């Protein structure tokens, strides 16, 4: 028996144990990193401010600093959870940080395990799935995001929920389940994800549409659409009602789009100057979190919603007069979403000798995964429409804003796993006998 055959049989006999062992080692590795970087524990910015506000008095408020008032800057899911933890155990106490770190790592590593199950449904042999899971778990390219930022920011939970929706749709597609109950459940998960992170939720809605096209007759679509719309309405209703009562405005998600649009689209962004310097200058000029002058302007205008709307209106006027520059920036943002430039790693953590390696590996995984998405749509088709959608669709909303590493992370796991599938198929094409054994 060859060594390849021995590995295959061992992997098949102890798949779950090996997978869980890999995940446990991934958790330990990230905890060691966090212990070695204690200075990174307080980089949660606006999200921490809101969580602290909720801990103090149960309000979603004080996004930019204490006293800045009720907020709709972002949706409240993770700040509320963190706020409850802070209220119980104290702000940034060891106990609170331990709980939130556990939650962050749990969502991150569990999303990897769900993708492990997803690619079982897609036909990837167990050895290759363990390679993908091992790479995801034991080669952490974004430890700051996974251990610190995702304590209160939504990236880890969004990855977990999108992988769960993908798994449910694959199971429904393979089983030809025509019942409405799985659809309703998936609709609520996707709706909650849309509330949490609209680009990821949009991708899940598109995947649900693909399932309807593939598996349900046209006459059933209105019923499915009605249940999906009802689920979305029920998920968005509490936050929308709260916002209307507080501000007299219909705000079902967030009110910060104008600020994000203004950060990314302006004359200096197309000047050809150093991208990091341009971004930081713009951030320090108009963002109330980093600029006292911007905070004062926001307060003078009447608060964050008015300020963001004013910035958005000004930016839209600039876009209308400079459509070519806007198209150039949008294409640049699209490329940066998949292939983050080095300066994005340096924004929160500073540069070091490992930054170039992290960037190179991220680009490699993204490039091969993106190739897999294209092949999934044009060549492999079938079930591969679903993971391809999860890679392609989230990039579209982020084209009009400045991508950062948190945005790229939404597709990191799925591109890595799909990239491994591309490599597997290439090896299978070149060495059929060995591939069949693996």
Distance CA 123, CA 431 (A): 18
* CA nearest neighbour of 394 among 207, 237, 215, 211: 207
Token readout for 83 is 């706020």
Provide the pLDDT confidence category of residue 157 given band limits of 50, 70 and 90.
Answer: very high
Burial label, 107 (beta-carbon count in 10 A; 0-12, 13-18, 19+) = buried
pLDDT at 35: 86
Q: Which residue has the tokens 């060495």?
A: 431
Global pTM reads 0.92
Strand ranges, E, within 142-285: none
Cα–Cα distance measured from residue 374 to residue 392, given in angstroms and rounded to the nearest whole number: 9
Sign of the four-CA dihedral 286, 289, 294, 299? positive
Confidence at residue 436, expressed as pLDDT on a 0 to 100 scale: 44
Q: What is the pLDDT of residues 324-364, one digit of tens each?
A: 999 999 999 999 999 999 988 887 666 677 888 999 999 99
pLDDT at residue number 438: 46
Q: Give me the DSSP letters along 58-119.
A: S-SB-SSSTTS-B--SS-SHHHHHHHHHHHHH-TT-HHHHHHHHHHHHHHHHHHHHHHHHHH
Pairwise CA distance, residues 86 & 80, whole Å: 10
8 Å CB contact between 344 and 407: no
Phi-psi region of 118 (alpha: psi -120 to 50; beta: other; left: phi over 0): alpha
Q: Distance between CA atoms of 267 and 280, rounded to whole angstroms?
A: 14
Distance from C-alpha of 145 to C-alpha of 348, rounded to nearest angstrom: 10
Residue in 98, 116, 158, 146 with CA at minimum distance from that of residue 21: 116
- Say how far apart CA 16 and CA 430 lie, in whole Å: 30
What confidence category does residue 181 fall into, taking pLDDT thresholds of 50, 70 and 90?
confident
At 160, list the tokens.
Answer: 């977990």
């Amino acid at each position: 028996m060859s060594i390849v055959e021995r590995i295959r049989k061992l992997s098949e006999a102890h798949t779950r144990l090996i997978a869980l062992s890999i995940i446990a080692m991934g958790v330990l590795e990230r905890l060691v990193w966090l212990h070695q970087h204690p200075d990174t524990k307080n980089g949660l910015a606006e999200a921490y401010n809101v969580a602290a506000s909720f801990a103090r008095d149960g309000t979603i408020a004080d996004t930019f600093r204490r006293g800045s008032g009720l907020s709709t800057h972002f949706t409240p899911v993770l700040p509320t959870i963190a706020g409850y933890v802070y209220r119980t155990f104290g702000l940034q106490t060891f106990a609170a940080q331990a709980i939130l770190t556990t939650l962050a790592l749990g969502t991150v590593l569990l999303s990897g395990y769900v993708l492990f199950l997803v690619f079982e449904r897609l036909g990837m042999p167990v050895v290759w799935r363990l390679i993908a899971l091992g790479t995801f778990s034991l080669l952490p390219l974004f430890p700051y995001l996974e251990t610190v930022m995702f304590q209160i920011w939504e990236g880890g939970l969004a990855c977990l929920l999108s992988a769960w929706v993908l798994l449910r749709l694959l199971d429904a597609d393979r089983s030809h389940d025509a019942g409405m109950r799985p659809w309703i459940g998936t609709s609520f998960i996707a709706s909650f994800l849309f509330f949490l992170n609209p680009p990821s939720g949009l991708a899940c809605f598109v995947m649900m549409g693909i399932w309807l096209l593939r598996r349900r007759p046209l006459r059933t679509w209105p019923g499915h659409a009605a249940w999906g719309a009802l689920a979305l309405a029920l998920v968005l209703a509490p936050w929308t009602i709260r916002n209307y009562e507080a501000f007299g405005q219909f705000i079902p998600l967030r009110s910060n789009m104008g600020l994000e649009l203004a950060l990314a689209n302006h004359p200096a962004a197309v000047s050809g100057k150093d991208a990091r310097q341009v971004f930081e200058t713009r951030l320090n000029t108009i963002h109330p979190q980093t600029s006292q002058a911007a905070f004062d302007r926001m307060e003078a205008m009447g608060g964050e919603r008015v300020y963001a709307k004013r910035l958005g209106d000004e930016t839209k006027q600039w876009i209308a007069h400079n459509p070519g520059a806007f198209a150039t920036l949008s294409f640049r943002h699209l490329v940066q979403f998949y292939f983050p430039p080095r300066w994005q790693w340096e924004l929160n953590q500073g540069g070091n000798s490992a930054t170039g390696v992290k960037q190179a590996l991220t680009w490699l995984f993204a490039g091969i995964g993106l190739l897999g998405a294209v092949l999934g749509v044009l060549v492999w088709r079938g079930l591969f429409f679903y993971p391809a959608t999860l890679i392609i669709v989230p990039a579209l909303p982020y084209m009009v804003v400045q991508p950062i590493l948190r945005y790229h992370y939404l597709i990191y796991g799925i591109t890595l796993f799909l990239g491994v599938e591309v490599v597997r198929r290439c090896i299978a094409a070149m060495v059929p006998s060995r591939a069949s054994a693996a």
